A and B are shown apart, each in its own frame.
Chain A
Amino acid sequence: MSRIRDIVVAFVLIAHACVGPAVPDVLLTPEEISRTLAHGPWPPTAVPDPSNRVSGNAVAIALGKAMFQDPSLSRDGSMSCVSCHDPSRAFSEARPRAMGRIELNRNTPSLLNLRAHRWFGWAGNSDSLWAQSILPILNADELAKDANGIKKIMTTGPHASTYADLFGPSSGHAPEDVLVNVAKALAAYQETLTTGKTSFDRFRDALEQGDLAVASDYPESTQRGLRIFLGKGNCTFCHAGPAFTNGEFHDAGIPYFLQQGGADPGRHGGLDVLLESPFTLDGNYSDDPDRMGAWAVRNVRRKHTDFGTFRVPSLRGVSRTAPYMHNGSLPDLEAVVIHYSTIDMERLHADGEAILMPLDLSHQEIDDLVSFLLSLGDDRNPLK
């Protein structure tokens, strides 16, 4: 792949030299072009989740969408998934911290483009989307339902026949099996929440094809922002690949102390939940006989530096998911960029990664980087 990339870069440079100064410039160096190509192609080919036997199933997707909006999924019928995951806000919500039955400690994460993730939730409590979908259902501070209640609504409620078509009559299933099956339908639906090609992707694809005329449509300020993202910003170390996330957990210098006292353990606590869960890809509820994804939960390392680290969110559609960071403490993208530009080194783990440092960006550079980030969310057909 890197050899192909080098050939493409060489072609682009030759074409650039031939076109001459009359065409607006592509500002990137050969190395920057090469690194830009690594952030695509987009969208990825949809591959069913082998651990979820109804992944990609149209009936399951419809059931999942219905359950996502159904308040009977909660103990008292007072809330549903959409209570926090607002479809009009990229399935996130405007408040800094989610409001379940009480105010929770973390920001509601967007549900866009989850298919490619390895870990789910800010702390990676789950290694599959269906396993993650179980947690808010059972959480006493969120939907607060239990498996028996889920079985009851799947036996007597309006979705009973659809459930039976997919999984067999729920009356013959253990409550926990029904819970998992409902979660798999929810996951099948959430897998469809994807974003389309953005102006960045058109720029990236044009570079790959050597089409400098189309590439030059990408505004110069946005190109400058991309260069900061790839270079002095060090953003691409964590926000890597086509989804602009490496899917792992890092210390971003955001305080993890809680207003009510105590601290949010982040990944450290997430691993506690994960490794005790019966719902992992290595467990009996996975439909994958080969346990293809189980290597991660089997081999994940535990480190004391996991404390207070949180999963790197994808930047696809980021313009639609304010506020930002695990606790929603940064109101907009400019605030995020300024946070990294002026980061307090004292906030970082003393023995953690040596990546972040104050960027000391100028006002223009801040605007340029924000312009680039906005270009990751301007797809013409969002949720395509």
Chain B
Amino acid sequence: MPANRVATALCLLPILGGQVFACVTDPDAQRMTAETDGAPDVYVIAGMSAVSQPTDLEIVVCPGTAKEVSGLVVDAWMPSHQHGMNYDPEIEALGEGRYSVTNMVYHMPGLWQLTITLGPDAERAYYTLDMRIQ
């Protein structure tokens, strides 16, 4: 195989096998958009959601950065309606950067934005993910 084709294949490999190299392998995992430079990758694994019914998430904070995760705040709001949720979700640390989030309640159909804030206070990192609830 010509050298340039080998090089091309090697360059494509991380893209094609992206999930293999990420810290999660769940095919339903969605990468959140980091609003802070240098922040670790964060993924959300969300089950099916029904309007006004409590639902659960799993948050995965990938390792490999200098920032220590000392706190996690999870929330959601509807940007077009300018309102948030009516209930505080419950968060449980599962270890190894994984967090279980329960009782997320999206009380309207439409576009919600999931927001996550990672501590520590002095070096907070913010993330968002758009989610459509039907």
A residues sitting closer than 8 Å to B (CB atoms) are 1-2, 5, 34-35, 38, 118, 236-238, 240-241, 246-249, 295-296, 299-301, 352-355
**Given contacts A38-B134, A299-B89, A354 and B82 within 8 Å (CB-CB):** yes
In the complex, what distance in Å separates the CA atom of A299 from the CA atom of B54? 11
Instruction: Closest B residue to A240 by CB, please name it.
Output: B51
Alpha-carbon distance between A39 and B65 when the two chains are bound, in angstroms:
46
- Are A240 and B85 in touch, CB under 8 angstroms? no
B48 touches A301 (CB 8 A): no
Residues of A within 8 A of B110 (CB): 237
Q: Which 10 A-B pairs have the closest CB atoms?
A: A354-B82, A299-B87, A246-B52, A299-B88, A353-B83, A237-B108, A248-B107, A240-B51, A246-B107, A295-B103
Instruction: Produce 1/0 per residue, B107-122, CB < 8 A to A.
Output: 1111000000000000
Q: Which residues of B in the span 2-24 have a Cβ within 8 Å of any Cβ on A? A: none
Cβ of B25 within 8 Å of any chain A Cβ, yes or no, is no
Residues of A within 8 A of B87 (CB): 295-296, 299-301
Q: Are A354 and B81 in contact (CB under 8 A)?
A: yes
> How does the 8 Å CB contact mask read for B78-101 relative to A, with 1 for contact and 0 for none?
001111111111100000000000
Residue of A nearest to B83 (CB): A353
Residues in B with CB closer than 8 Å to A247 are: 52, 107
With A and B bound together, what is the CA distance between A1 and B55 in angstroms?
A: 14
Within 8 A of A (CB), among B22-80: 48, 50-52, 54, 80
User: Knowing A295-B103, A353-B81 touch, does A301 contact B86 (C-beta < 8 A)?
Assistant: yes
Complex A-B: 13 CB contacts under 8 Å: A2-B134, A5-B134, A240-B107, A240-B109, A241-B51, A246-B51, A246-B52, A247-B52, A248-B107, A249-B86, A295-B87, A295-B90, A353-B82
Q: In the bound complex, do residue B134 and residue A301 qualify as a contact, i.e. CB atoms below 8 Å apart?
A: no
Question: CA A236 – CA B108 in complex, angstroms?
Answer: 8
Contact A240:B108 (CB < 8 A) given known A301-B86, A354-B82: yes
Q: Judging by beta carbons under 8 Å apart, are B81 and A236 in contact?
A: no
B54: which A residues are within 8 A, CB to CB?
Answer: 295
Interface contacts beyond A240-B107, A354-B81, A354-B82: sample of 14 additional A-B pairs, CB < 8 Å, sorted by A: A34-B134, A35-B109, A237-B108, A238-B108, A240-B108, A241-B51, A241-B52, A247-B107, A248-B86, A295-B103, A299-B89, A301-B84, A352-B83, A355-B81
Tell me whether B108 and A246 are in contact (CB under 8 A).
yes
Q: Do A38 and B109 form a contact, CB below 8 Å, given A246-B51, A299-B90, A300-B87? A: yes
Least CB separation from B84: chain A residue: A301
Report A154 CB to chain B, min CB distance, Å.
Answer: 36
Report the separation of the CA atoms of residues A249 and B85 in the bound assembly, to the nearest whole angstrom: 12
Whether the pair B88, A301 counts as a contact (CB closer than 8 A) is yes
Q: How far is the CB of A160 from chain B (nearest CB, A)?
A: 41
Contacts of B89 in A (CB 8 A): 299
- Distance A80 CA – B50 CA, assembled complex (angstroms): 38
In the complex, the chain B residue whose C-beta lies closest to that of A295 is B103
B residues less than 8 Å from A249 (CB atoms): 86
Complex CA distance for A301 and B51, rounded to whole angstroms: 18
B52 (CB) vs chain A CBs: closest residue:
A246
- Are A299 and B134 in contact, CB atoms less than 8 angstroms apart? no
Cα of A238 to Cα of B134 in the assembled complex, Å: 13
Bound complex: CA of A1 vs CA of B109, how far in Å? 14
Complex Cα spacing A75 to B88, Å: 41
| Min CB gap A10→B, angstroms | 16
Complex CA–CA separation, A350 to B86 (angstroms) = 19
Chain A residue nearest in CB terms to B110: A237
Does the CB pair B103–A1 fall under 8 Å? Answer: no
| Bound-complex Cα distance A296 to B80 (A) | 25
Q: Are B52 and A299 in touch, CB under 8 angstroms?
A: no
Q: With the chains together, A236 CA to B107 CA distance in Å?
A: 11
> A34 to B83, alpha carbons, bound, how many Å?
25
Measured between alpha carbons, how far is A35 from B87 in the docked complex, in Å? 25
Q: Do A236 and B88 touch (CB < 8 A)?
A: no
Q: How far apart sit A2 and B51, CA to CA, in the bound complex (Å)? A: 12
Kindly list chain A residues whose C-beta atoms are within 8 Å of the C-beta of B48: 1-2
